[in-house]
Structure 1
């Protein structure tokens, strides 16, 4: 590396397509506290904090894969001593070699924190003055409160009635949402099972699988940001749209573009209510023995052929609704001798425990699908923890009576 770049006032590194560190300047090494031979060849995840690793997978990689530059993305590094170092990162991919060049600028928020302390001090002084004044008015207020006690009791009764009615409405809405879920499919060429559990009354997760014709099937699973009523309303509006498009046999990229346009229209006039959605869609043709798919920022789908070989259906684009004018690229897999696919939302397992799913698949390749579903539910229950116990849970299992080859072709 040239001496000027090596000692530049900002960090610099070059990554491979897989995220391995190929070059790093001395400035960034000094910030992190590492020697050159300790990081060269390592994956960038080794120098990212845990939250930054998730952000890197969900936003950085999809932007790079979509040939978009990463501009002023705020992430945090982890030094050799385990300290978090906030930085702004700018990056783009070289078109000739697909190497990723990154510039990192260390952020110093000391002044901001000092200003916040001064503001907090002024607020505390103001609150103290207001408290003295409030004490003088308290006696008058207490008298008024006694007069209003009877009225408050009546209002509480009305509130309890309202809460009871609201709970009934939410329960009805939950039943409607669950009714819209598709039933298992069993045919000569494939079998599909699914699982769905809302963290509250309503869920931001949704799935659907549809028989387009006797040889073609459309399968989708999606996760709207957050959970609860707002996410559920958006999920149901997307469900009616993707069901209509899938049953018409529309291409995967057309379906995702329509869903993306729908979300952008919903929040065009109110960015404060903006929601994005991760999703993965499979178009299975059992006669041609092909699987066409798109993954929009969703946890990777997993498949395993009859030889136990596994492959991840990784993200091919950013989440739906995250940016305008998104392009969705399709990929196609071919299969011949039988295989099993697993699609799931991020509430099923911690992203860093995804290896548990691959191990479960590998160790139960010959187990019938319904029995394997029970094993997966048992694993989810055992692994339930603070990360996802309050998140929606949803997965789809697919057995193909013809397995998936290792070659994939981007269309």
Structure 2
């Protein structure tokens, strides 16, 4: 990179088609608060916030492949200190002799973002005040009308409401039991050892997982997170569960499983776009005989693979979430594993920073038994809840390969 471009008044980087960082200028490193360059060969996710990672998968890569350029796309970077940095990105796809390269210019937008946020906040506060006023007037009018009715009618209404709440609570509790009963048990034998954790933020969860052994050497593991949580998300998880249970139990290839799940979501909402839900998912096919793992990550937080020496690798997203774009081709990636390797699959309720919290914990406990590692993660989760008061569905799967 020449001197002028390296110290240009804007950030500059080049990416491969797969999103790997090929070069990055000094200006962008300064914006990110780095004195050294640790990013060459890393995925662009390493400098993006979690929402920006999903945005890249949903819009940036599909758009630049379609139009060969991107103009003034608004995303957020993350600095070395974890601060969010809003930028505008312009990108151009260029065909070089050796490969296709994406050239990107990034312009910080801190002040503009602050002004826009202030305007949006003022607008929301005004709308909320007007809405509160209208609601107060409506409630006052309704109250005056209710005072004209007989006390017996009011008591009867309260009684019916109370009975409805009791019945609803019973139904939700039954639905929760049914949902949790559908979850498969972890598998523990001479080939694999597993631990799982599942916790709904309310009565019902948008998380679901399945663990299946097809024969002596083949295992299937899937973890899904449907957008949102509560009744609507839980209903969708159950429809997806019946489908992936049938497909994985039959040993269907991972790309076909993902294709069928994606097709199911599109068909489910083809007549009601407003009710559309999306789902992130990660699916693993483990062959303990050949010591090979095939996987597909559809917009899900990257799973962590760690070998017996503590070396780690992220199983990053390879496709958009299920239900986003029709006609997506799901291509499986694969890697070999050895004795003592460890895998961690999780939903964003466990680590919203996409492994920034879990990866160090996993490395520090490389020799710890799986059941004790699970307890460490749970302790860390409780600590995070106490600090940030977060509430989201939480699920993770730990796998040791023997």
- Superposition TM-score, scaled by structure 1 size: 0.76
Rate the CA distance shift 1:211–1:360 in 2: closer, same or farther, 3 A. same
Q: Does 1:56 align with 2:55?
A: no
Structure 2 gap segments, 5+ residues each: none
Counterpart contact for 1:291–1:332, Cα < 8 Å? yes
- Show the counterpart of 1:366: 367
Aligned equivalents of 1:377 and 1:122: distance in 2? 41
Give, in angstroms, the shift of residue 386 of structure 1. 6.5
Give, in angstroms, the shift of residue 359 of structure 1. 2.5
Aligned equivalents of 1:380 and 1:122: distance in 2? 36
Rate the CA distance shift 1:164–1:95 in 2: closer, same or farther, 3 A. farther
Rate the CA distance shift 1:398–1:85 in 2: closer, same or farther, 3 A. closer
- Show the counterpart of 2:74: 74
**Structure 1 stretch displaced more, 315-324 or 208-217:** 315-324
SS for the counterpart of 2:284 is: strand
Q: Does 1:393 align with 2:390?
A: no
**Structure 1 stretch displaced more, 306-315 or 225-234:** 306-315
- Show the counterpart of 1:404: none
**Structure 1 stretch displaced more, 205-214 or 305-314:** 305-314
Deviations 1:354-383 (A, max 9, x none): 344222222322222222222221222122
Counterpart contact for 2:307–2:338, Cα < 8 Å? no
Rate the CA distance shift 1:297–1:244 in 2: closer, same or farther, 3 A. same
Counterpart contact for 1:68–1:92, Cα < 8 Å? no
Rate the CA distance shift 1:84–1:202 in 2: closer, same or farther, 3 A. closer
Aligned equivalents of 1:83 and 1:194: distance in 2? 32
Aligned equivalents of 2:130 and 2:395: distance in 1? 50
- Show the counterpart of 2:326: 324
**Structure 1 stretch displaced more, 392-401 or 12-21:** 12-21
Give, in angstroms, the shift of residue 216 of structure 1. 0.3
SS for the counterpart of 2:377 is: helix
Give, in angstroms, the shift of residue 342 of structure 1. 0.6
Deviations 1:107-157 (A, max 9, x none): 9798999899899999999999x99xx79xx8x977643222522332121
- Show the counterpart of 1:215: 217
Aligned equivalents of 1:299 and 1:361: distance in 2? 16
Structure with greater Cα Rg: 1
- Show the counterpart of 2:383: 382
Aligned equivalents of 1:60 and 1:253: distance in 2? 22
Rate the CA distance shift 1:282–1:99 in 2: closer, same or farther, 3 A. same
Give, in angstroms, the shift of residue 181 of structure 1. 0.4
Give, in angstroms, the shift of residue 245 of structure 1. 0.8
Rate the CA distance shift 1:159–1:395 in 2: closer, same or farther, 3 A. same
- Show the counterpart of 1:91: 91
Give, in angstroms, the shift of residue 269 of structure 1. 2.2
Aligned equivalents of 1:255 and 1:92: distance in 2? 34
Rate the CA distance shift 1:141–1:230 in 2: closer, same or farther, 3 A. closer
**Structure 1 stretch displaced more, 306-315 or 230-239:** 306-315
Give, in angstroms, the shift of residue 95 of structure 1. 4.6
Counterpart contact for 1:197–1:392, Cα < 8 Å? yes
SS for the counterpart of 1:265 is: helix
Name the Cα RMSD after superposition. Answer: 4.5
- Show the counterpart of 2:257: 255
Deviations 1:236-277 (A, max 9, x none): 111111111111111111111111111111222222212111
Q: Does 1:15 align with 2:23?
A: no
Counterpart contact for 2:49–2:76, Cα < 8 Å? no
Rate the CA distance shift 1:146–1:366 in 2: closer, same or farther, 3 A. same
Q: What is the correspondence of 1:299-378 to structure 2 with a 5 Å cutoff?
A: 299-351=301-353, 354-378=355-379
SS for the counterpart of 2:349 is: coil
SS for the counterpart of 1:240 is: helix
Q: 1:175 aligns with which of 170, 177, 197?
A: 177
**Structure 1 stretch displaced more, 203-212 or 322-331:** 322-331
